[in-house]
Amino acid sequence: MGRQPCCDKVGLKKGPWSAEEDQKLVNFILTNGQCCWRALPKLAGLLRCGKSCRLRWTNYLRPDLKRGLLSEDEEQMVIDLHAQLGNRWSKIASHLPGRTDNEIKNHWNTHIKKKLKKMGIDPLTHMPLSTTTSEPQQEQKMDKSTKELPETSLQSTITESKEEEKSTTSALLDPTTEMMMMLMDDMDGFCTDEVPLIEPHEILVPGTNDAPSSTTSSSCDSSKLLEELQFPDFDLWDDDFNHWEDLLSDRPKLAIGDDEEYSWTFI
DNA sequence: AATAACTGCAACCGCAAACTG
DNA sequence: GCAGTTTGCGGTTGCAGTTAT
């Protein structure tokens, strides 16, 4: 099957996002909803691939994201869920509202792994280190083959069955979280990755006070952007998703061509 | 003060599943 | 059922900031 090239397409920008790009992306998604990532960059006037836009949105720009370090509770939850699910970061993230798989993955690799090792626990098997091989090489191998993990006592409880997964993970959760999950299940395929969890008027723009001391230039720009950004006042997630059909069918009218300069009027 | 080493996070890459015609 | 396309996921990398020397 032919996979289309993504960012290696000539003319597409890579690397850190600028504040302007963030603004374009946020404005576009807030106006038109989240759909058709492939077409989004052109429609939003971005010289990025759809994949890059999706990543930027889900990992950084989504208004429902919590920022800052994971709390003790969240961290413990990640450890428990990892013991059950392994490196299935998206599954783990789905149990932590406002957290992304990338964020959890990074936190695991940079903080929790070390913490567990310090405590004499193998972060991979969640067993005491003395009973497991702690050869870095071996660990690397294991990491890479998480999908075919040799069954440990904990991991052997993992089942692919959704039903069983629900029951095992919900056992770890507090009643509120459990209820939220049940409600989400009732919402016909709703998942935390589908924005928003909140209404536009409830959007809490990450402020300067509790914002993480993120140090990358793009992050700083974006914090600024999000502070300044005026989210449009409309019901974002009603049946206005047919905006997309309009936009897509209107594409020629928008005169957005591959090599043309885009102009976009922001709300 | 300079710079080497370390750390943490955002972003990219490639694969596979899901979807579509 | 098949081929092509899109989306989602997990692993990895690059780089800016921080700390140690």
In this predicted model, what pLDDT tens digit does every residue of A122-175 receive, in sequence order?
888 888 876 544 444 444 333 333 333 333 433 343 333 334 444 444 444 444
Contact flag, residue A2 CB and nucleic strand C, below 7 A = yes
CA of A36 and C1' of B19: distance in angstroms?
A: 12
How many angstroms separate the CA of A84 from the C1' of B17?
Answer: 22
Contacts 24+ apart (CB under 8 A), A161-167: A165/A85, A165/A91
Work out the percent of chain A whose per-residue pLDDT is above 90.
0
User: Which of A95-99, A142-146, A262-266 has the highest average model confidence (pLDDT)?
Assistant: A95-99
The pLDDT of residue A65: 84
Residue A52 contacts strand B, CB under 7 A = yes
Q: Above 50 in pLDDT, residue A66?
A: yes
Distance in angstroms: CA A31, C1' C10: 31
Phi and psi for A192 in degrees, rounded to 5? -65, -20
Contact status, residue A98 vs residue A70, Cβ threshold 8 Å? no
Q: Residue A128's beta-bridge partner residues?
A: A121
pTM of the full structure: 0.64
The answer to whether the beta carbon of residue A103 comes closer than 7 angstroms to any atom of strand B is: yes
Q: Is the CB of A213 under 7 A from strand C?
A: yes
Top-confidence residue, A104 or A208: A104
Residue A266: pLDDT band (50, 70, 90) is very low
> What pLDDT, on the 0 to 100 scale, is given for residue A67?
77
